[in-house]
């Protein structure tokens, strides 16, 4: 594709060009078609690279996940350029109006105001158009080249379910170790005691935290779900012994006054692994998380070239270790070892405890056979660390940045789980349609709203848990199929807009047909240039 892209600008007959490159890669017209779709998406989104920072990725647009999801899908189906009128159209449909309890519809002006508040996901472009993070080139790259291949590999040994909820035997292959794989999708959701029938649009700057007391109490629920077992609980014990659960209820102002942090994520997954070790030892388990900073944070001693001094330094990299509750353990730690080209460890510190500095670290690697330029002739970093595009050997920091041990530094969560034989995978950003737990929250909240309203915290928690536990397993299997369908659509080269269209058209199916792009083109042949 890179080859295609570099040629496409200068080549007027780019269809022919795509055919040529596809056939040179041993692929037919199908590949050519995909190349064209990808490059159109890429070049569009690259032009539109965001300049402003996105909001918190765990901020919910609406309290009502269901509605938020439907609106997102509606807008995703409209295409890359969405205007306020599309939001108004959606909200003013009789069904949505009755759900929102709106007596009259909203104006375009109101819709515009709402959309401005949705900036964490829908970015304002010139001329009042909005576009979706789905097609941001880095997000597409991660989705197509990292996430989907990873998922496909895992899905070879997971169970798939028919429309009626029964196991699809044809698609189920036990892994080489004799075990099936179970993928546990993780997420958090907030439930409110008051005003829970009111839909509220959340500003991008607002944290997704439980509200403080006085503003009406709320609780956050964090849990894992799989289509095989539903929510992650231990198996039932003898009467009197409470069932173990990986669920965490999080309340404002109680044990924490902040929100769910990396430490809480680590604690929760530890409980999850304990339960799985004990009650589900005959399967391989994978945890799938949102691509949020809370989840992808690295360990405090992780390898990073970000702030490394170029020369010897007696203080760099040292820190006081804290336990998961944030208390100092009294132990002094420093940045972990790197790796020489032959795989042996490289300490970043001399025997006297001083940090070696980037130049010496690079020099030692050269002496062990690494093909790196002489660091004595290089700057610490290019001005502002804004190296020329594609440059890898321009300055000391860039060199270390691109060294395999630095590149492959995993998140703390991945390292923590790997030690016990569990894999972690991260969903691409902005793709909540791929994590079916979102639909479980939506269903649970509809049930929750049927319970009598109460301002008591105890009621809130009890109702929340009851509502969440009421999501039927058959429905979860259906939700999982829908997420599978989206993944299949992306795998077949569809963009966010096309995937939303295809998932709707092939409702109930796990995969979309191979001819899906052709079908999309035919269905949209009349509205080109819309």
**Number of amino acids touching Zn ion (CB under 5 A):** 5
3-class DSSP state of 501? helix
In angstroms, give the least distance from the CB of 336 to Zn ion.
24
Rounded Cα distance between 222 and 233, Å, is: 13
Binding mask 331-370 for Zn ion (x = CB under 5 A): ----------------------------------------
Q: First and final CA of the chain: distance in angstroms?
A: 27
Q: Stretches 86-94, 151-159, 326-334, 377-385: which one binds Zn ion (CB under 5 A)? A: 377-385
In angstroms, give the least distance from the CB of 392 to Zn ion.
9
Residues 383-412 that bind Zn ion (CB under 5 A): 387, 394-395, 398
In angstroms, give the least distance from the CB of 395 to Zn ion.
3
Q: Stretches 94-102, 379-387, 448-456, 520-528: which one binds Zn ion (CB under 5 A)? A: 379-387
In angstroms, give the least distance from the CB of 381 to Zn ion.
6
Binding mask 490-529 for Zn ion (x = CB under 5 A): ----------------------------------------
In this structure, the strands spanning 319-322 and 283-289 are unpaired
Of 180 and 387, which has the nearer Cβ to Zn ion? 387
Which residue in 155, 248, 380, 382 binds Zn ion (CB under 5 A)? Answer: 382
Of 370 and 394, which has the nearer Cβ to Zn ion? 394
Of 100 and 387, which has the nearer Cβ to Zn ion? 387
In angstroms, give the least distance from the CB of 492 to Zn ion.
39
Of 266 and 394, which has the nearer Cβ to Zn ion? 394
Of 386 and 419, which has the nearer Cβ to Zn ion? 386
Per DSSP, the residues of 432-446 read GGG-THHHHHHHHHH
Tokens of 364: 């030692």
Distances (CA, A) of 381 to 46, 388, 464: 26, 11, 52
Of 375 and 428, which has the nearer Cβ to Zn ion? 375
Each residue of 67-90: b (16+ CB within 10 Å) or e? bbbbbbbbbbbbbbbbbbebbbbb
For the chain, helix (H) and strand (E) counts, in that order, are: 20, 12
Of 72 and 397, which has the nearer Cβ to Zn ion? 397
Each residue of 474-512: b (16+ CB within 10 Å) or e? ebbbbbbbbbbbbbbbbbbbbbbbbbbbbbebbeebbbb
Of 382 and 473, which has the nearer Cβ to Zn ion? 382
In angstroms, give the least distance from the CB of 123 to Zn ion.
29
Rounded Cα distance between 115 and 109, Å, is: 10
Rounded Cα distance between 170 and 50, Å, is: 44
Strand pairing partners for 131?
123
Residues interacting with Zn ion, by CB under 5 A? Answer: 382, 387, 394-395, 398
């Amino acid at each position: 594709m890179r080859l295609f892209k570099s040629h496409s600008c200068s080549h007027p007959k780019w269809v022919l060009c795509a055919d040529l490159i596809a056939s040179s890669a041993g692929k037919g017209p199908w590949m050519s078609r995909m190349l064209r779709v990808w490059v159109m998406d890429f070049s569009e989104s690259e032009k539109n690279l965001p300049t402003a920072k996105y909001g918190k990725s765990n901020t919910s647009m609406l309290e009502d996940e269901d509605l938020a999801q439907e609106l997102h899908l509606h807008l995703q189906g409209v295409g890359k350029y969405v205007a306020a009128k599309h939001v108004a159209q959606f909200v003013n449909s009789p069904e949505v109006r009755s759900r929102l309890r709106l007596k009259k519809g909203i104006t375009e002006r109101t819709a515009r105001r709402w959309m401005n508040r949705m900036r964490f996901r829908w970015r304002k472009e010139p001329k009042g158009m909005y576009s979706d993070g789905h097609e941001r080139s880095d997000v597409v790259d991660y989705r197509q080249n990292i996430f989907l291949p990873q998922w496909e590999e895992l899905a070879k040994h997971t169970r798939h379910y028919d429309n009626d909820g029964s196991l699809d035997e044809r698609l189920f292959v036990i892994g080489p170790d004799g075990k099936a794989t179970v993928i546990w999708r993780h997420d958090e959701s907030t439930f409110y005691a008051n005003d829970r029938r009111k839909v509220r649009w959340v500003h991008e700057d607002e944290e997704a935290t439980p509200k403080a007391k006085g503003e009406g109490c709320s609780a956050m629920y964090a849990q894992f779900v799989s289509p095989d077992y539903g929510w992650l609980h231990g198996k039932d014990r003898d009467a009197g012994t409470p069932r173990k659960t990986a669920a965490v209820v999080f309340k404002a102002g109680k044990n924490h006054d902040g929100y769910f942090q990396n430490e809480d994520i680590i604690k929760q997954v530890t409980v999850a692994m304990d339960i799985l070790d004990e009650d589900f030892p005959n399967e391989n388990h994978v945890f799938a998380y949102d691509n949020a900073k809370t989840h992808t944070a690295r360990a405090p001693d992780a390898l990073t070239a970000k702030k490394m001094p170029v020369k010897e330094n007696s203080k760099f990299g040292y820190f006081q270790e804290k336990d998961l509750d944030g208390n100092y353990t009294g132990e002094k730690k420093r940045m972990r070892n790197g790796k020489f080209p032959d795989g042996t460890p490289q300490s970043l510190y001399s025997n006297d405890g001083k940090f070696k500095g980037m130049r010496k670290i690079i020099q030692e690697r050269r002496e062990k056979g690494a093909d790196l330029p002489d660091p004595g002739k290089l700057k610490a970093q290019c001005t502002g660390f804004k190296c020329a595009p594609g440059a890898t050997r321009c300055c000391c920091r860039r060199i270390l940045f691109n060294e395999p041990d630095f590149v492959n530094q995993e998140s703390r969560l991945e390292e923590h789980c790997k030690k016990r034989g569990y894999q972690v995978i991260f969903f691409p950003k902005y793709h909540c349609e791929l994590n079916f737990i979102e639909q479980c929250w939506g269903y649970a909240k509809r049930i929750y709203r049927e319970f009598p309203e109460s301002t008591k915290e105890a009621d809130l928690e009890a109702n929340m848990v009851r509502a969440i536990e009421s999501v039927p397993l058959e429905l979860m299997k259906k939700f999982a199929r829908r997420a599978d369908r989206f993944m299949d659509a992306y795998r077949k080269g569809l963009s966010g807009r096309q995937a939303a269209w295809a998932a709707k058209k092939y409702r109930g199916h796990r995969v979309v047909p191979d001819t899906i792009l052709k079908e999309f083109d035919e269905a949209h042949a009349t509205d080109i240039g819309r």
